Structure 1
Amino acid sequence: MTPPKNTFDFINTLEQKGWLKKISEPVDPKLEITALSEPVMKAGGPALLFENVKGSEMPLAINLFGSSERMSLSLGVDNLDRISDRLRELMAMELPQGLWAKVMTALPKLKELSAFAPRTVKDAPCQEIILKDKEAFLDRLPILTCWPDDGGPFITLPQVITADPETGRQNVGMYRLQKYDARTTGMHWHRHKGGAAHYRKALSLGQKLPVSVALGGPPAATYTASAPLPPVLDEFMFTGFLMGKPLKVVKCVTNDLMVPAEADIVLEGYVDPAEPWRTEGPFGDHTGFYSLADEYPVFHLTAMTQRKNPVYPTTIVGRPPMEDLYLGMATERIFLPLLQMVLPDVVDYHMPAEGVFHNLVFVSIKKEYPGQAYKVLNALWGQGQMMFAKVIVIVDEHVNVRDPQEAWWEALNNIDPQRDVIFTKGPADALDHAAQMPWLHTKMGIDGTRKTPEEGFTRPWPDRIEMTPEIQNQALKKLKKWGLL
């Protein structure tokens, strides 16, 4: 299966499969599109293409990634585990054991990965129309005001591209952009993100930081912007890996950044570290609560380039499940092999929707020695964005952590709270409104594994209740024959 090369390709394929609904009736980008889209998302409904958005000539696409099938299709596979398998094959080489930094340093050397380095082109669909200076203004875009108390309209599905001012190495992240006026937005990058690191370096050098924002293009590029890649792994190279071929990129018109050639729209501009920050937010966030207003840098638009007939891609977030659930599921499946490189103890992991990615993580391990659950807990809190995990629950390898009901049932049966729960402190996600201090909170680790005599447990440990497989299979056949299943 070939991944879609751009938004049009993706939409056409979704329509052929009956996974897309076109709406020609006029709709308002202020609140109405959210009110229309949220019930569809929560019901597992189709992608939506609003063809007549008030105030803009561009059609708007939403919920493109809003199911397991569409998420897989966007990356050219029938099952996301196929990508995990490809990563395991790519990593079929001996690597030094040790710290995460050592393993991550080895990543660019993995065989064949360099074959997916981005390929530069001179002529690109994203530059069929070029608007500079006063001709470039954000009012052309059907930017959504998602929720009643939002601080304004927000661009919610961007690929924000910056480069290290000293090395030139690019970073791509998904940071929301609040529209202030026709030529400026907020730049909501958290201090732990790659774009923020580039901003701090530009500040120390006393220079402006060029920024480009790509909208649409290959769905794999949109997904990659949301993925928690280690710093040494180039996002566009990883996009090429997902697509099975190099991503085509083109140099921007008003800065030297490279952007996906097949993007629908590209916003070019800069952030000036010498400029005072502006209030950004509130914003109805994926936690299901508003993230509070705060001060952030300002993005200035210098040019807008686009295809002749662009589609504006967007999403909404709120109380889960929403479309971003499926982007998170993709990250789980795709990055499991990388996590297992560092922690071979890990069998599987899952971040259920109720935990909104950073609040709850279930992890199954192959337990071989006393205290292993605590070793894994502490190691996980040291791995990239896993440092934000508020609650981690460790269970034995036979537990299906992708089924939260089973994982909780097993863990809660296996714990003595005083004995099996630990607390520690560490960095907090900026969206954790319950944290006692911004950026810092307490984390809880739960050892829900079977306890052993070596861990001081001397009582007999009971077995699970399970029916004899032969009898169960015979019973299932009879129940189906009787119409009871």
Structure 2
Amino acid sequence: MARDLREFINQLEQRGQLRRIKALVDPDLEIAEISNRMLQAGGPGLLFENVKGSNFPIAINLMGTVERICWAMNMEHPEELETLGKKLALLQQPKPPKKISQAIDFGKVLFDVLKAKPGKTFLPPCQQVVIEKEDLDLNILPLIRPYCGDAGKIITLGLVITKDCETGTPNVGVYRLQLQSKNTMTVHWLSVRGGARHLRKAAENGKKLEIAIALGVDPLIIMAAATPIPVDLSEWLFAGLYGGSGVTLTKCKTLDLEVPADAEFILEGTITPGEVLPDGPFGDHMGYYGGVEDSPLIRFHCLTHRKDPIYLTTFSGRPPKEEAMMAIALNRIYTPILRQQVSEITDFFLPMEALSYKAAIISIDKAYPGQARRAALAFWSALPQFTYTKFVIVVDKDINIRDPRQVVWAISSKVDPSRDVFILPETPFDTLDFASQKLGLGGRMGIDATTKMYPETDHEWGEPLESDIDVAAMVDRRWVEYGLGDIILNEVNANLFGYDIK
């Protein structure tokens, strides 16, 4: 079981899913170009051992496939992600057990929570080397610049750790940071994120916000930090639930914050409320360069790291990217939670080509008129991460939502745009979405692609075309006899469209 970055790298190498690059490479543009080609090809993770201008190697594309993300979460198959989602759903809204088996299941989950509590250590590997004050120079880090139009070097896979100055509740998020000087960076976070809330509260109390950045952590912790599920549990506890045992934490050298003890690097600093600098532009997940925004300035005064540390990074952009693979895995985890929140939803899918959150396809077991519209509205409010979903397409439960042919057929054959398309104007929106007329404010569209019933329509619906049951069974039996035994239709479809259509 991989419990830190190094163990995960070893695991990938043992499974033939890691390439070590010994040639000299430049973190400015070159590493991102190489990694992007690997991502397009579904290739292995990369470890660049000879990085221009740095003594530290760079690891990238470690989570470039859903399979490797499953490995990071100590699983072998994507189906296990839904099992984890069921566990989290039970914790989110526990119901009184009606059967002995349900009570046993709930008891097992509570035991998992106890096992998932963070541990502590006073001799953390992340503090084997300490650099403070005037000796600190962030330029020793091999920060990459992915695109030629980017404003500078960035951190992309750092855990940004803050806490509420009144309650002490921590928040762990993954936000982009831009290098501004040898000891300062700006952090780019949305106003709804935990770190931004903590900064506002620090400002109200006239305090600076303590902030730590953990670099090169167990990828499992990154997945936990990227899971914005509305459960009253910390990201550390989520990571423990994901991994089956608690994360080992340690106190920062100069801050009253706890960080992963096995991280490769820890940056320690503070934000003075109101102190900002221009941040951006940078290539973003939408496939364009984002704008320039004034963002909070972090002043760092301490850097600690392991002996011979490894720098872990990634970059955003039009899919496929590592963030898209992470979103596919999270989609599986969300499914049981969403079913619990919106009972009529039988399944949902966030296509990678739609940036893994801009369009959602949901299927329902339709029982009454108007139910599709109700399900779409409920979806938008079910979980915070669905706030910025622009399109929701609702189909019947017999439609395979992961097969684009079936979804397009449902839209084409069951939708009357004048009746089945509805738009919510001027809702809070993603400022990185340039399609909006006003940045931060945009519309959402729901499409009812279900079979209509009275009074949604005043005429009978046609009978769907289906194979004769007896003939279909006979063809199944004789498939090999036809000389077609080497052709498995589901595999052909999966290869053609790149979807898991089981």
CA separation of 1:39 and 1:332: change in aligned 2, threshold 3 A: same
Give the Cα separation in 2 of the matches to 1:230 and 1:118.
20
CA gap of 1:84–1:482, structure 2 versus 1, over 3 A, is closer
Measured in 1, the distance between the counterparts of 2:402 and 2:143 equals 35
Supply the distance in 2 between the matched residues of 1:457 and 1:10 (Cα, whole angstroms). 59
Displacement of 1:464 in angstroms is 4.1
Instruction: Report the equivalent of 1:331.
Output: 330
Secondary structure of the 2:273 match is coil
Contact 1:352–1:404 (CA under 8 A) maintained in structure 2: no
Hey, what does 2:42 align to over in structure 1? 44
Cα distance, 1:215–1:404 mapped onto 2, change above 3 Å:
farther
Question: How far, CA to CA, are the matches of 1:206 and 1:408 in structure 2?
Answer: 55
- When residues 27 and 416 of structure 1 are mapped into structure 2, their CA distance, relative to the original with a 3 A threshold, is same
After superposition, where does 1:16-415 map in structure 2 within 5 Å? 16-89=14-87, 95=94, 111-112=110-111, 113-230=113-230, 232-275=232-275, 277-383=276-382, 384-415=384-415
Write the distance in 2 (CA, Å) between the matches of 1:25 and 1:378.
53
CA distance 1:483–1:194, change in 2 (3 Å): closer
SS in 1 for 2:150: coil
Task: Measure how far apart 1:481 and its partner are.
Answer: 4.7
Change (3 A) 1:480 1:15: farther
User: Residue 337 of structure 1: CA displacement?
Assistant: 1.7
d(CA) in 2 for partners of 1:215 and 1:466? 56
Distance in 2 of aligned mates of 1:129 and 1:210: 21
- Taking a change above 3 Å as real, the CA distance of residues 352 and 472 of structure 1, as seen in their structure-2 partners, is farther
State the distance in 1 between where 2:357 and 2:87 align: 29
Residues 160, 172 of structure 1: 8 Å contact kept? yes
Offset of residue 291 of structure 1: 1.1
1:189–1:481 distance in 2 versus 1, CA, 3 Å: closer
Could you tell which deviates more after superposition, 369-378 or 146-155? 369-378
Alignment CA distance shift 1:318-1:86 (3 Å) = closer
Query: What is the identity percentage for the equivalent residue pairs of Structure 1 and Structure 2?
Result: 36
AA aligned to 1:444 is M
The answer for the alignment partner of 2:450 in structure 1 is 449
Letter of the structure 2 residue corresponding to residue 225 of structure 1? A
1:100 corresponds in structure 2 to none
What's the offset of the Cα at 1:348? 1.3
* Amino acid of the structure 2 residue aligned with 1:211: I
CA pair 453-67 structure 1, distance change in 2 beyond 3 A? same
- Is contact 1:145-1:152 (8 Å) kept? yes
Say if 1:21 and 1:46, in contact at 8 Å, map to a contact too: yes
Q: Tell me how far 1:302 sits from its aligned partner.
A: 1.5
RMSD of Structure 2 on Structure 1 (CA): 2.1
- Measured after TM superposition, the shift of residue 314 of structure 1 is 0.5
Q: CA deviation at 1:457?
A: 4.0
Question: Partner residue of 1:474?
Answer: 477
- What is the rounded CA distance, in whole Å, between the counterparts of 1:173 and 1:159 in structure 2? 6
Inter-CA distance 129–442: structure 2 relative to 1 (3 Å threshold): same
Cα distance in 1 for partners of 2:180, 2:468 equals 62
| Conservation of the 8 A alpha-carbon contact between 2:154 and 2:178 | yes
How far apart, CA to CA, are the structure 2 residues paired with 1:291 and 1:391?
Answer: 22
Distance 1:230 1:110 in 2: 17
Q: Which amino acid aligns with 2:477?
A: Q
Q: Partners in 2 of 1:161 and 1:467 — Cα distance?
A: 60
- Between 427-436 and 23-32, the greater mean CA deviation after superposition: 427-436
- Counterparts in 2 of 1:452 and 1:144: CA distance versus 1, 3 Å: same
Q: State the Cα distance separating 1:411 from its structure 2 match.
A: 2.6
Judge which range, 332-341 or 385-394, deviates more: 332-341
Q: How far apart are 1:382 and its partner, in Å?
A: 1.3
Give, in angstroms, the shift of residue 199 of structure 1: 1.1
Q: Which moved more, 1:387-396 or 1:348-357?
A: 348-357
In the aligned structure 1, how far is the partner of 2:402 from the partner of 2:445?
A: 20
Any unmatched runs of 5+ in structure 2?
Answer: 97-105, 489-502
Structure 1 window deviating more from structure 2 (349-358 vs 415-424): it is: 349-358
> In the alignment, is the contact (CA less than 8 A) between 1:90 and 1:111 conserved in 2?
no
Counterparts of 2:317 and 2:89 in 1: how far apart (Å)?
37
CA distance in 2, matches of 1:479, 1:130: 71
For each residue in 1:164-212, what CA deviation from the matched residue of structure 2 results, as whole angstroms up to 9, or x when unmatched? 1111101111100011121111110111111111111111111110111
Contact kept in structure 2, 1:80 and 1:334, CA below 8 Å: no
* Cα drift, residue 480 of structure 1: 4.7
Q: Which amino acid aligns with 1:300?
A: R
Displacement, 1:369?
Answer: 1.6
Deviations 1:362-408 (A, max 9, x none): 11112122111111111111131201100011111122222233222
1:89, CA displacement in angstroms?
4.6
- CA gap 1:224/1:145 in 2 versus in 1, 3 angstroms: same
The secondary structure found in structure 2 opposite 1:321 is: coil
8 Å Cα contact 1:210-1:270 kept in structure 2: yes
Counterpart of 2:377 in 1: which secondary structure? helix
Deviations 1:203-225 (A, max 9, x none): 11111101111112221111122
Amino acid aligned to 1:474: R
**What amino acid does structure 1 have at the position aligned with 2:168?**
G
Question: Secondary structure in 1 aligned to 2:229?
Answer: coil
Partner of 2:180, secondary structure, is coil
CA deviations on 1:258-314 (whole Å, 9 max, x unpaired) are: 111111111111111132x21111111111111111111111111111110211000
- The answer (yes or no) to whether the contact 2:372–2:394 under 8 Å persists in 1 is yes
Give the secondary-structure state (helix, strand or coil) at the position aligned to 1:13. Answer: helix
Q: Does the CA contact (< 8 Å) of 2:158 and 2:174 recur in 1?
A: yes
C-alpha distance in structure 2 between counterparts of 1:224 and 1:154, whole Å: 22
**Structure 1 counterpart SS, 2:480:** helix
Cα distance in 2 between the residues matched to 1:228 and 1:89: 16
Cα separation, 2, equivalents of 1:204 and 1:198:
10
Please say which of residues 437-446 and 229-238 is displaced more in the overlay: 229-238
Q: Structure 1 counterpart of 2:450, which letter?
A: T
Classify 1:16/1:115 alpha carbon distance in 2 versus 1 (closer, same or farther; 3 Å).
Answer: closer
